[in-house]
Structure 1
Amino acid sequence: MAALRSCCARVGPALTAGALMGAGDVIAQQLVERRGLRGHQGPRTLKMMAIGFCFVGPVVGSWYKILDRLIPGSSKVVAVKKVVLDQGAFAPCFLGCFLAITGATNGLSVEENWSKIQQDYTDTLMTNYCIWPPVQIANFYFVPLKHRLAVVQCVAIVWNCYLSWKANRL
């Protein structure tokens, strides 16, 4: 039973991230890009779900555990310290990796992928800074560690829509 709980604790956040990355892509294709059902790119949605399952969920979930060990507690000062580390160190690295992985899954060559990252990275990071610091202050201050990824992923449905649109503009 303990092994099953341990497995679910690792797989659950990845499944949530995969589902919400997929939902973000569907919203991007239908509401932002207005593709309609006939123009919907199912393989793109599946790729975004796979990135959520294999990359976003495990990496972000692990990051929150590491961050909680590095800066224990839940005071306002602790929450601010966590946001500074999260947004100053983790977010820039995470977004670069996300864009690189998305480019690779879209079949871009190394040169094309690097060019796309250079084109999209700064704008994506600045948009990140408009959205995530207030969300993360509340998340780190009010939400227990075991629920932080779920809170972020719920808020992130709009963010995932933006990321999918940004990363898949070729």
Structure 2
Amino acid sequence: MASPINNDSSSLFGQLLDERGIVIGRTDTPSAIYGYTSPHAYEKEEKRRAAVKMFRHIINFTNKYKILRGMISYGTLWPCGCLIEQTMIEKKTFRTYDWMKCLRFSLFGFFFMGPTIYVWIRLAGVMWPRTDIKSSLCKAITEQTAYDPMAISSFLFFMTLMEGNSYAQARQEVSDKFLDAYKVGVIYWPCVQTVNFAFVPARNQVVFTSFFSMCWTTFLAYVKFLQLHPTVDVDHHAMDIHFLEM
């Protein structure tokens, strides 16, 4: 059985000897000092500590720069909405997913939606600092008449450009699809944001909104898909591009 030898000079140098006096390790290594049974166990623990430390740094960084919370949330959840649409509507699988389309959604969510919704929520908090129902309704209505039209138009415009289409085609995309998408948003977003502004703490409002934005993104991806394919067979029933017109 290996054990540190304390009655000779070798222990002064931190050497670990076996019963025959052969040096098999050191008593001054981290694994010996902290009681690990092997260097492998020590290395595993060090990797775990490094991962925890890095995670804490990320949390502290996002707490310091709160805008990153929304950017990361939107950059992650928007491509998820795109994948949901591809799975449910286009009947694609992992092998046939359009990953470039997901990347475009992620870039738009990270660089546009995250920062703009963060600025809007901060501005709304200054304009209506209270969290009662009346103030929440004012925020939701103002968002629907000011922010949402800009966000929907920007989505249609920039996503079309990122697909490699021309400026004229991007403008036509907005002209053709904006009204249908906005009519749905008029009902959807006031309900979401009234709950958000009334009951969710300010520090978590962007994250809360980003989750429901994933559902909204799934709808937008659906509208975008219909624009690219005027008629599509889903469960053997033809769906017209003007399905939103009541």
2:79 pairs with 1:47: no
2:161 pairs with 1:104: yes
**Aligned-partner SS, 1:37:** coil
CA deviations 1:10-62 (Å, max 9, x no partner) are 22210110100010001011112212233210111011011111111111111
1:53 counterpart letter in structure 2: F
**Which runs of 5 or more structure 1 residues have no equivalent in the other structure?**
none
Normalising by structure 2, we get a TM-score of 0.65
Greater Rg, structure 1 or structure 2? Answer: 2
CA displacement at 1:75 relative to structure 2: 1.1
1:127 counterpart letter in structure 2: V
CA displacement at 1:6 relative to structure 2: 2.2
**Stretch deviating more after TM superposition (48-57 or 33-42):** 33-42
Measured in 1, the distance between the counterparts of 2:209 and 2:89 equals: 21
Q: Which residue does 2:122 correspond to in 1?
A: 65
Normalising by structure 1, we get a TM-score of 0.92
Q: Which residue does 1:6 correspond to in 2?
A: 64
Measured in 2, the distance between the counterparts of 1:33 and 1:156 equals: 20
Residue of structure 2 aligned with 1:128, choices 185, 189, 192: 185
**Which runs of 5 or more structure 2 residues have no equivalent in the other structure?**
1-56, 229-246
Q: CA RMSD in A?
A: 1.6
Measured in 1, the distance between the counterparts of 2:188 and 2:161 equals: 26
Measured in 2, the distance between the counterparts of 1:125 and 1:46 equals: 24
Identity over aligned residues, as a percent? 21
**Aligned-partner SS, 1:52:** helix
Tell me how many residue pairs correspond in the alignment. 168
**Aligned-partner SS, 1:38:** coil
2:82 pairs with 1:17: no
Higher relative contact order (CA closer than 8 Å, sequence separation 6+) = 1
CA displacement at 1:88 relative to structure 2: 1.2
Measured in 2, the distance between the counterparts of 1:10 and 1:131 equals: 24
Greater percentage in strand: 2
